Chain A
Amino acid sequence: MRMSALDAKLLRDLARLWAQVGAIALVMAAGVMTLVLSVGAQRSLFETRAAYYERNAFADIFAAATRAPEALHERIAALPGVAAVETRIRENAVLDIEGMVEPAAGMLVSVPDDGVEVMNRLHVRSGRLPSPGHPDEVVVNEPFAAAHGFAPGDAFGAVINGRKRQLQIVGTALSPEFIYVVTDLMPDDRRLGVVWMSRAALEAAFDLKGAFNSVSVRLLRDQPAAPVIDGLDRLLESYGGRGAHGRADQQSHAFLDSELNGLKAMSYVLPPIFLLVAAFLVNMILSRLIALEREQIGLMKAVGYSGASVAWHYMKLVIVIALIGVALGLVAGTLMGRGLARLYGEFFHFPFLIFRVSVDIYVLAVAVSVGAAALGALRAVRAAAALPPAVAMRPPSPPRYRRLFSGGLPFAPHLPRTMVMIGRNLVRRPLRALFTTLGIALSVAMLVGSLFTFDSIEVLIDSTFFGSERQHATIGFVHKQPAAALYEIERLPGVLVAEPARNVAARIRNGPVERRLAITGKPAGSELSRLMDVEGREISMPEEGVALTAALARILGTGRGGSVEIELMEERRETVPVPVSAVVESYIGLGAYMEISALNRLMREGDYISAVHVTLDPALTDELYAAVKALPMVGSIGLQRVAVQNFRATMAENLLMTMSVLVGLAAIIAFGVVYNGARIQLSEQGRELASLRVLGFTRAEVSWILLGELALLTMLAMPLGWALGHAMAIAMVEGQATELIRIPLVIERATYARASAVVLAASILSALIVRRRIDRLNLVEVLKTRE
């Protein structure tokens, strides 16, 4: 089949305009890529998780108790809606690993001795499960093993219920229950190990023969969780039940949810920005092309082409541009989506990954991109179709300029004429100026709106670990201890300051709304673990009543002067009304605080403590660690300072990676807008510039006339971009706030500066590319021809 003459023209136009076409296609590709990438990665990860849960029978409901008789198993299984029940023993231990000075935290989990795991089944990666007759055989989670170079056959020490033991690794495994485990709020594979042991071994170690302290339940299909949770709570009430909960409150699941939902935000914000900019660029380039081809359009019509076929000719050009962009975007998005999913998958240690081609997203991407391009082209194409042939073949009526700026500006009465030219050209095309500014501003906003999270997290760390929780470490006891235990800790080597704390599991309620949490008791006037009000000022712990974090107060719909019901879930099981005496700030989790003796009074107990916060002499930490590992009453140690340091290192890496991806994306927009803007202006003003060169203007002076306009718009775009970025940041902070973590809205000046620097650099680079064309203007040629 022979190509029609118009299609041949189309191909040649595309080839001639390749640089501009490429710039627009890149912007579109970036939009499609971010859409396919984020949706693809997110779906892949959610599906992988779901399949992982399904294959390994991840439980639906979890509950903990102090000591419940195994006989309860039957009664739990009889609750309506329950499909399966598995009782377990879960405890904490301090791990002593050779070659690691600081103690690690161990989560001990029992595996059934008959070898049949009903749910939360281990995915064994190497070795085997512990055999019932060998109480010191353990399976550890693979990331922990990898962090220490452990393999089956290796051993490590552990303080289990006050007794130092040597544990023998017989296998490594992954579990859907511990995809994302954190210690001191940070994931740290080195310092946190999940240790699976034989049920009999743990029963013996914790004196739980014929009893359990943890239970998991799987529901029948489509059964609601709430009635089963209530039933479990009733059954466990007299055995120290600490409140059953569903997956939403399961630590690993909740953290995973919050991570994966972050991906979703990307698919809402970025693609529309790129498509908007692409539509504008299409409009700009096509309007110019049609202006240049005015006479050709007249000719086509004169020889009998209809308005519609002329319109379709130009529309095809636009569709081809869009399809190039979509094709690039789909390929890049699919590949990068898989890469990102793989990255997350490795981070979460998923044993497998499911990729699926999301056909619906592909279709959406094509439709939206072609639609955006067509929309951008609509006005120009309609004008071309409507142009009568006789009018088209005459040159267009000269542009009208307004006599602006002839007296200069109020602050610059003697404005150089070159500036006057820039000003008048701007005013003559206000919409183009507006959209150019907006396009550049959006690339700044995109950077501000994403890079700010690093500022916010820095403030979060600062406020959490240097404002309110200032302790270097927290030593937790296996069981609550009399207040005198504080002095034992105080005497340990390297401890400078020690402060007691007590945690009591409770439900806190106001009307129908309730939350499960630990009420933390701290002494009045504590120096380490402090309360800060919402303005960041320290407030003293009220002698009476409970202090709620702002997020909890909001959820419960109460505040200072109000009142809440506290249902105690340990030993004394009673519901008591307590006045709210303060509202405090905290970005992490939900918290309720009481003065420690007031909390003990509420429990109707003497002076008990469950943890000690300490500050350390850095020179003596090794001695302290050694002492803690040998102390039987210690069940856990949190090393906040170490955690923060590790976290900061991870953040710095993340910043670098996020920065490079976003810089690339922002640069694509800035390049697309500035390069196309400059090329089109060069096409419009090339003659003028050539004549100025003849008059003796230097290349630099002439370039300034052309690029000055863009420079001015770029400058105007900066504050606009900052404002838009600020708005995006507000939306991000509000959209991503969960009960688990809320990031404060903080945008440092450096972030604005960084965003501007990136966009300015990209703009300058694109201007320089066009500048080379200005330098190559053929003076003689231009002057001898009529436009």
Chain B
Amino acid sequence: METGPIYRIEAVTKVYRGDVDVHALRGVDLEIEAGEFLVLLGPSGSGKSTLVNILGGLDTASGGHVFFRGDDITGLGERELTRYRRDHVGFVFQFYNLVPSLTALENVALVTEIARDPMEPGAALELAGLPAGRHDHFPAQLSGGEQQRVAIARAIAKKPEVLLCDEPTGALDSRTGIRVLEALESINRQFGTTVLVITHNVAVGGMADRVIHFADGRVARIERNETREAPASIAW
């Protein structure tokens, strides 16, 4: 495993221009170590999603720099950003965004077909905790938790270096939510994948290496946990 920060974030700002300019990020500096499990907390509009989107190559910064493994990704064009997402980043969202016309297995295969060194789609689903009997079901035939596990499997199947999760448990009940968090935790441990989780649930912070608190477009403070709690012990 390489050492050194996987992301170095320097004075990143983001302004959404419009009738009224919205300053989503007002200068963020942060280093993220490879293999870290980070939880991002903060009220709505505090800038955490904006940062994650910039890290994931879905959005571009208005100022400052983001280095991924030493390479500046701030100036990349559309084509390079697509390549970057394809090769390095996995996403999990609150709404699972599965393809309704493909079964669970096929949804994962969709990604492994374009990845450089993917795992078997079935293995990815196992890893994310979807029982083998459900692999051939269409999203409409799966529960919310199951769909989210398919989404996680789809995100990890290409063995990304980073897994970015924006409110992955936001639409789930506590029991299902814990299962999903367990899946993320085990991927982080087994593969050393760097994981960033955005959440409103303060308790989730317990399972992180570090908890980044956002407020008003800035990093307000950073908490470091000496020991990571098991997801099962998180009070919902």
Q: Is there a chain A Cβ closer than 8 Å to B79's Cβ?
A: yes
Q: Is there a chain A Cβ closer than 8 Å to B117's Cβ?
A: no
A780 touching B106, Cβ below 8 Å:
no
A633 to chain B, nearest CB (A): 84
Q: Is there a chain B Cβ closer than 8 Å to A479's Cβ?
A: no
Q: How far is the CA of A425 from the CA of B99 in the complex (A)?
A: 11
Q: Is there a chain B Cβ closer than 8 Å to A779's Cβ?
A: yes
Question: Of A690, A695, A701, A783, which contacts B85 at CB under 8 A?
Answer: A695
Contacts of B59 in A (CB 8 A): 780
Chain B, range 143-184, C-beta contacts under 8 Å to A: 154-155, 158, 166
Question: Of B56, B101, B113, which contacts A416 at CB under 8 A?
Answer: B113
Question: Of B79, B111, B154, which contacts A698 at CB under 8 A?
Answer: B79
Contacts of B110 in A (CB 8 A): 417-418, 692, 695
Contacts of B58 in A (CB 8 A): 694, 779-780
Q: How far is the CA of A401 from the CA of B139 in the complex (A)?
A: 10
Q: How many A-B residue pairs have CB under 8 A?
A: 94
Interface residues on A, range: 20 to 34
Chain A, range 318-362, C-beta contacts under 8 Å to B: none
Contacts of B230 in A (CB 8 A): none
Q: Is there a chain A Cβ closer than 8 Å to B223's Cβ?
A: no
B140 touching A398, Cβ below 8 Å:
yes
Question: Of A399, A418, A420, A783, which contacts B100 at CB under 8 A?
Answer: A399
A695 touching B93, Cβ below 8 Å:
no
Chain A, range 674-700, C-beta contacts under 8 Å to B: 687-688, 690-699
Q: How far is the CA of A698 from the CA of B95 in the complex (A)?
A: 22
A403 and B91 in contact, given A417-B110, A421-B102, A780-B59 (Cβ under 8 angstroms): no
Contacts of B97 in A (CB 8 A): 687-688, 690-691, 694, 783
Q: Is there a chain A Cβ closer than 8 Å to B225's Cβ?
A: no
Q: How far is the CA of A695 from the CA of B79 in the complex (A)?
A: 13
B103 touching A403, Cβ below 8 Å:
yes
Chain B, range 82-116, C-beta contacts under 8 Å to A: 82-83, 85-87, 89, 91, 93-95, 97-103, 106, 109-111, 113-115
Chain B, range 66-86, C-beta contacts under 8 Å to A: 78-79, 82-83, 85-86
Chain A, range 719-764, C-beta contacts under 8 Å to B: none
B136 touching A697, Cβ below 8 Å:
no
A611 to chain B, nearest CB (A): 75
A779 to chain B, nearest CB (A): 5
Chain A, range 400-453, C-beta contacts under 8 Å to B: 400-401, 403, 406, 416-418, 420-421, 424-425, 428
Q: Is there a chain B Cβ closer than 8 Å to A491's Cβ?
A: no
Q: How far is the CA of A403 from the CA of B103 in the complex (A)?
A: 8
A696 touching B140, Cβ below 8 Å:
no
- B105's nearest neighbour on chain A, judged by CB, is A406
- B109's nearest neighbour on chain A, judged by CB, is A417
A773 to chain B, nearest CB (A): 15
B124 to chain A, nearest CB (A): 13
Chain A, range 756-787, C-beta contacts under 8 Å to B: 779-780, 783-787
B91 touching A786, Cβ below 8 Å:
no
A696 touching B101, Cβ below 8 Å:
no
B86 touching A695, Cβ below 8 Å:
yes
B213 to chain A, nearest CB (A): 21
A420 touching B114, Cβ below 8 Å:
no
A398 and B100 in contact, given A694-B58, A697-B114 (Cβ under 8 angstroms): yes
Contacts of B101 in A (CB 8 A): 399, 401, 420-421, 424-425, 428
Contacts of A687 in B (CB 8 A): 97
A783 and B93 in contact, given A403-B136, A695-B154, A696-B87 (Cβ under 8 angstroms): yes
A410 to chain B, nearest CB (A): 19
Contacts of A699 in B (CB 8 A): 78, 82
- B94's nearest neighbour on chain A, judged by CB, is A784
B99 touching A692, Cβ below 8 Å:
yes
B86 to chain A, nearest CB (A): 3
Main secondary structure of the interface of A (DSSP, over half): helix
Contact with A along B116-138 (1 / 0, CB 8 A): 00000000000000000000101
Residue of B91, B99, B154, B166 with most partner-chain A CB within 10 A: B99
Q: How far is the CA of A389 from the CA of B59 in the complex (A)?
A: 40
Q: Is there a chain A Cβ closer than 8 Å to B188's Cβ?
A: no
Q: How far is the CA of A424 from the CA of B99 in the complex (A)?
A: 11
A417 and B85 in contact, given A398-B139, A780-B53 (Cβ under 8 angstroms): no
Contacts of B49 in A (CB 8 A): 780, 784
A692 to chain B, nearest CB (A): 7
Q: How far is the CA of A687 from the CA of B93 in the complex (A)?
A: 13
B99 touching A694, Cβ below 8 Å:
no
B82 touching A697, Cβ below 8 Å:
yes
B82 touching A696, Cβ below 8 Å:
yes
A422 to chain B, nearest CB (A): 9
Question: Of B53, B86, B106, B109, which contacts A696 at CB under 8 A?
Answer: B86
A425 to chain B, nearest CB (A): 6
Question: Of A399, A401, A691, A693, which contacts B82 at CB under 8 A?
Answer: A693
Residue of A691, A784, A785 with most partner-chain B CB within 10 A: A691
- B50's nearest neighbour on chain A, judged by CB, is A780
Question: Of A417, A425, A690, A784, which contacts B106 at CB under 8 A?
Answer: A417
B100 touching A688, Cβ below 8 Å:
yes
Question: Of B106, B138, B139, which contacts A420 at CB under 8 A?
Answer: B106
A706 to chain B, nearest CB (A): 13
Residue of A687, A690, A696 with most partner-chain B CB within 10 A: A696
- A428's nearest neighbour on chain B, judged by CB, is B101
Contacts of A779 in B (CB 8 A): 58
A93 to chain B, nearest CB (A): 79
- A399's nearest neighbour on chain B, judged by CB, is B100
A695 touching B111, Cβ below 8 Å:
yes
Contacts of A400 in B (CB 8 A): 138, 140
B148 to chain A, nearest CB (A): 13
Contacts of B115 in A (CB 8 A): 696
Question: Of B82, B93, B109, which contacts A784 at CB under 8 A?
Answer: B93
Contacts of B158 in A (CB 8 A): 696
A694 and B136 in contact, given A406-B106, A699-B82 (Cβ under 8 angstroms): no
Contacts of A785 in B (CB 8 A): 95
Contacts of B53 in A (CB 8 A): 780
Contact with B along A697-714 (1 / 0, CB 8 A): 111010000000000000
- A423's nearest neighbour on chain B, judged by CB, is B101
Contacts of B78 in A (CB 8 A): 699
Q: How far is the CA of A417 from the CA of B110 in the complex (A)?
A: 5
Q: How far is the CA of A356 from the CA of B71 in the complex (A)?
A: 76
A689 to chain B, nearest CB (A): 9
- A398's nearest neighbour on chain B, judged by CB, is B140
- B91's nearest neighbour on chain A, judged by CB, is A694
Q: How far is the CA of A784 from the CA of B53 in the complex (A)?
A: 11
A401 and B109 in contact, given A695-B86, A696-B82, A784-B93 (Cβ under 8 angstroms): no
B103 touching A696, Cβ below 8 Å:
no
Question: Of B95, B103, B109, B155, which contacts A783 at CB under 8 A?
Answer: B95
A89 to chain B, nearest CB (A): 84
Contacts of A406 in B (CB 8 A): 103, 106, 136
A684 to chain B, nearest CB (A): 10
B89 to chain A, nearest CB (A): 8
Q: How far is the CA of A417 from the CA of B79 in the complex (A)?
A: 22
Residue of A417, A425, A786 with most partner-chain B CB within 10 A: A417
- B59's nearest neighbour on chain A, judged by CB, is A780
Query: Can you report 11 residue pairs joining A to B where beta carbons are below 8 Å apart?
Result: A399-B140, A401-B100, A401-B138, A421-B102, A425-B101, A688-B99, A695-B85, A696-B83, A696-B158, A784-B94, A784-B95
What is A's interface to B at a CB cutoff of 8 Å? 398-401, 403, 406, 416-418, 420-421, 424-425, 428, 687-688, 690-699, 701, 779-780, 783-787
Q: What are the 10 closest A-B residue pairs judged by CB atoms, nearest first?
A: A696-B86, A398-B140, A691-B97, A424-B101, A696-B85, A417-B110, A401-B101, A783-B93, A698-B82, A421-B101
Knowing that A696-B83, A780-B49 are A-B contacts, what are 16 other residue pairs whose CB atoms are under 8 Å apart, sorted by A's residue number? Answer: A400-B138, A401-B101, A406-B106, A406-B136, A421-B99, A421-B102, A687-B97, A691-B97, A692-B110, A694-B85, A696-B86, A696-B115, A699-B82, A701-B114, A786-B95, A787-B95
